[in-house]
Structure 1
Amino acid sequence: GLGQPLRTSDNELPLPYRILLAEDAPDIQRLIKRMLEKAGAEVTVVENGAEAIQCVTAASQSGRPFDVVLMDIQMPVLNGYQATRALRTSRYRGPIIALTAEALAGQRERCLEAGCDDYVSKPINRQALLAAIARSVQVCAAQQVDASTG
């Protein structure tokens, strides 16, 4: 085998995606980056919502847009809600998954209202995160096909 892990279960799909991680805590940055890279993703890390917007915009303009944005909700400068709203206003159509510190009642609604496609609460569970990413990418791809045929 070419450095393949010895055991992969069927539901552990590799994620060959370009992912932007907006997260201000260095330990969580490292943890999530490692999880995603092990699954085959190419990960770019930024520390706040303002940087996330710049990064997404620059990537889209260069013709290599991110496949998924992971957006921590509690960040300095611009929080995840503000950054997500700004991205949606600027016509970013890709999946945005919120990372929330605690699964508070009403938080899911707030995330979805701001324009997030899904959310994963901390402590981050690898399986849940990978599943949310895979699901969001598929849903977004399907929506874009609908939009382009219409």
Structure 2
Amino acid sequence: MRRNRPRLSPFEAPSPLKILVVDDAPDNQQLLWRYLTKQGAIVETAENGLVGSRMALIGTYDIVLMDIQMPVMDGYSATAKLREAGYKTPIIALTAHAMTEVRRKALNVGYTDHLPKPINPKQLIAAVRNYTRKD
């Protein structure tokens, strides 16, 4: 007799999720770090799109959470650069602008999805689970 084992969510998998958070605000980095590590994830941070895109290309991440408005290189440019380089990992936009045109532009440059700030922890965890689930 074969038993079906329940599927584990990505946060419950044997190896923890590795998440890159790209945001220029240290408070936002710390808040996201707290939410995600509480779920068992390993979280690394970058302060702008240039540093974040470099880290994404050389690291192995399950998902990237990237602010849109940042100094040095914004999230739109960083995401477009990553996608042009063939980067396939999900990238979720984080922005205080929840307007339809911002969401549309984010998706057009290659973001996988969009979450409004202030971040709702339940929405954040649900989005990470959704885009890192391995079926």
Q: Normalized against structure 1, the TM-score is what?
A: 0.78
Distance 1:71 1:21 in 2: 6
Distance 2:82 2:63 in 1: 12
User: SS in structure 1 opposite 2:35?
Assistant: helix
CA RMSD in angstroms, aligned pairs only: 1.3
Q: CA deviation at 1:102?
A: 2.2
Partner of 2:89: 94
Unaligned runs of 5+ in 1: 1-12, 60-64, 143-150
Residues 52-67 of structure 1: pairs in structure 2 closer than 5 A: 52-59=52-59, 65-67=60-62
User: SS in structure 2 opposite 1:20?
Assistant: strand
Could you tell me whether the CA contact under 8 Å between 1:24 and 1:47 is conserved in 2? Answer: yes
Residues 2-13 of structure 1: pairs in structure 2 closer than 5 A: 13=9
Residues 67-82 of structure 1: pairs in structure 2 closer than 5 A: 67-82=62-77
Partner of 1:107: 102
Flag the 1:14–1:135 CA change in 2: closer, same or farther, 3 A. closer
Partner of 2:3: none
2:132 to 115, 128, 137: 137
Alignment: residue pair count: 123
Distance 1:48 1:35 in 2: 20
User: SS in structure 2 opposite 1:24?
Assistant: coil
Partner of 1:145: none
User: SS in structure 1 opposite 2:100?
Assistant: coil
Unaligned runs of 5+ in 2: 1-8
Q: CA deviation at 1:104?
A: 1.4
Could you tell me whether the CA contact under 8 Å between 2:20 and 2:43 is conserved in 1? Answer: yes
Q: Normalized against structure 2, the TM-score is what?
A: 0.86
1:128 to 112, 123, 126: 123
